[in-house]
Structure 1
């Protein structure tokens, strides 16, 4: 882990540090966490459970804190390693830019990441008390993903692809559902496959503009290993697979018919898949006119699909 006090000056104004921490948490993207944790709650309702308002609130807060911690650690690591100086920043990749603008706030961002992680641990203790020792497995794996993602997993292509989806899908949906209900749910497992696939697709797509800077910084993720064209086609396959989860799980009796509401987003998914499949092999940060609309559509598709899936489960409950 990089030096937490790198580039911090003792007299950094409080307002500057708070603003840098807020931007480094990437609040525009934090809506993803409650949408994923929401699937844990709506699947619990569908299975006949009533977890209660406080339990639901704690699960949502833990999801937000975990997501913020990942973003804060990522921002600090990329700044301390020098990667921020070479990255082409977009609204969807390359970080917030807060630390290059205010390097004196680097230590504050690191401490904010640790504080968020500590909050997750505290709520995790409550989950352990509520649902038993099995929650320790979810908690330890989740902590490992938060801490190891930027510095370690980004150098291991297939683990780097799987980690975001497992974190937001398997752990955040199945684990939170078990914390709320005290038992394992096949409904939660089935529905978790959608964010598992789509979040991994999102992170892989967002790595496309950063292939060369990441390579120079020593990272080795799938976008680097496969190249832009094959990586973009893998994103397309993951998105398509996520949309196939609903009909397959409905056919198998694991999800109700109302979850077909997610398919209202299918036209946007088809458009994204077609455009990803046709990306040229040499697309990179210099081809922002091609990449930016796709990255934006990918984010909107993910959030819209999860919202529709939550709505379908709620209507069926």
Structure 2
């Protein structure tokens, strides 16, 4: 997939090649790189868009978490270790077995037992980590650090450093591009500021988004404010439910174990006999149950960095 910067280099190189016929084939692309290097607005624009996309994904995650509060789910009592909790999940799975007949049933039963035994085996290897239990005090919610978004700071700094008048901004960029064109004059024949200015106009016309940085900054700030408000709402809601940091970590550790166990299951390609089909389908069915159970157990923790995309429950802790 071609990224935005590569696409712009190609666009600018095409403009230069047409405006400077007879120039060696490799020169327009080299000039395009140099020209884009003196126009940081475009890369900052890409950074702002990427940061906004991350914020929007995070907003969806936090809103979904708020929608499913108060995070009530049947769990073993405080003091239960992760090992004991996994064995309890294995017992729950065994209650779901179904009566089936024939070779398929034998395969299904074998796959079912193999899956549950693997979960029980994992229970013997995890650390103790007892469940702390929900908090009974009314401690203040932990809220994210209101540190500024570094991307927005960079974009805001660039916008503040540009001329406020649109015509002055265009002239400023025309001069920057023209200087690069003159620098390549030996290879291209650009030997006057008038000629450089005319070609610079063509380049700027091919980059219409270059003057949208203020809008990108404003959009990014709006998403930041929306996300920060959601994080505060989530922090308050979790505190009201007694979900302290230790309880959240334990629940997510259990959810992570369940997801990782489910992820050991892969569909068997090309299976034909009834036993293998039954074995595989039993594993896939139980894997789906574990993932659904992990979704119920997990809690989205309120982070220190409010702008980072939250990790999935099956990702390792940093």
TM-score interval for Structure 1 and Structure 2 normalised by the shorter chain: under 0.3
User: With structure 1 as the length reference, what TM-score do the two structures score?
Assistant: 0.25
User: With structure 2 as the length reference, what TM-score do the two structures score?
Assistant: 0.25
